[in-house]
Amino acid sequence: MTEQRDWNALSDQEFRLIVRKFFEDHYPEHLRYSPSRRRLAEMRGWYDTLSRHGWIAPAWPTKYGGMGLSPSKHIIFIEEQEAYGVARVPDHGLIMVGPLLIQQGTDEQRARYLPKILTGEEIWCQGYSEPNAGSDLASLRTEAVLDGDEFVVNGQKTWSTLAQDATHIFLLVRTDKNARKQEGISFLLVDMKAPGITVRPMATLSGHEEFCEIFFDNVRVPKENIVGQINKGWTVAKALLGFERLFLGSPKLAQSALARLMTLAKLTGRDRDPVFLERLAEVQLDVDDLNGIYRHFSAQAGRGEPLGQDISVLKVWGTETFARVADLIVEVADSAGMISGPALFGDAEFDVLSPFYNARPSTIYGGTNEIQRNIIASNVLKLPSA
């Protein structure tokens, strides 16, 4: 059933209508406009549908089983996803591990891992942050000691999104304790079924177990599971952080929140308030500006160019725009802005706080926005340190 087409040969309007029709025909109605991140069990059917049709990896080259979309077509794909309220599938393999292995993996690693990401047989999570090594990621202490043809891993990772559903994890580990912080780090691919791994979910303020902490106790990992060279994982990690910050800076969260804001404004009658309409225009322009800068960076990635330190601008802009829209939703809801879960507005239900809850951590994960501003100041603007 896989659709083999040259999507980029279509006009943007033709492609948009095809994507819109696909979502209308195939996406489950009960999963539209989800207020929180969906678990694998809920998204499995949709993942399988995308995989069967060859739509699971829009940005991957066709050579590796993707749709091979150009940056402009990929943005249309994302826009139509958001407009129809399509929830994210478990996508660390699709948007992080897959593109990384395509660029920096070995032929054997690509042959081993990419097909099973496409089918959803293997689901990935991220092992970067640790206690006392979140924004200062180079301070990580999880250790991997080479023992013959295997690494022995000991340590702890935290804030790993939906790790309880993952079959595999990509892991930053320290392989040389005597090297400088950014050196002596390696990048490993690890099977979550390996003996010695313990996953502990953590409930968020909204009550969802979206994040986990993961413990490694003498976990043995084959030496061939390293990506890049030993002790050179920081270079690999920076490439992956570029993909992550491109994704985190996507306008889709802000666009989705903006659509919810406009819906709520109609339910409350604020859409007839000239003061509110002025503020609405401001956030609409912010979201449009965000979309413009996102197109710039996604086009750069689509040309195969490395994403530089200036990608931090997108992460800050995207997450803070999302937060501003979420804050305005709470304000428009008035007293209902204190209600966790669906609130009644006439005969309609509306979850006011879900965008607010989702916007708070977005400025922290993927490197806090404070750290991103330091990167911009020192590495992009070349400002002197204080």
The Cα 102–Cα 93 span in angstroms is 12
Distance of CA 311 to the CA centre of its chain: 15
The Cα 112–Cα 264 span in angstroms is 47
The Cα 318–Cα 363 span in angstroms is 9
User: What is the residue-wise DSSP string for 330-356?
Assistant: HHHHGGGGG-SSEEEETTEEEESHHHH
**Which residue pairs, CB below 8 angstroms and at least 24 apart, start in 137-141?**
137/172, 137/237, 137/367, 138/181, 138/182, 138/185, 138/234, 139/181, 140/172, 140/173, 140/174, 140/185, 141/174
Burial class (CB in 10 A: 0-12, 13-18, 19+), 207: exposed
37: phi then psi, degrees, rounded to nearest 5: -65, 130
Q: What is the 3-state secondary structure (H, E, C) of 193-211?
A: CCCCEEEEEECCCCCCCCE
109: phi then psi, degrees, rounded to nearest 5: -65, -40
Q: Point out the catalytic residue in the list 3, 210, 244, 320.
A: 244
User: What is the residue-wise DSSP string for 275-289?
Assistant: HHHHHHHHHHHHHHH
Terminal-to-terminal C-alpha distance of the chain: 59
Contacts of 193 (CB under 8 A, 6+ apart): 167
Catalytic residue check, 244: yes
What is the set of active-site residues? 244
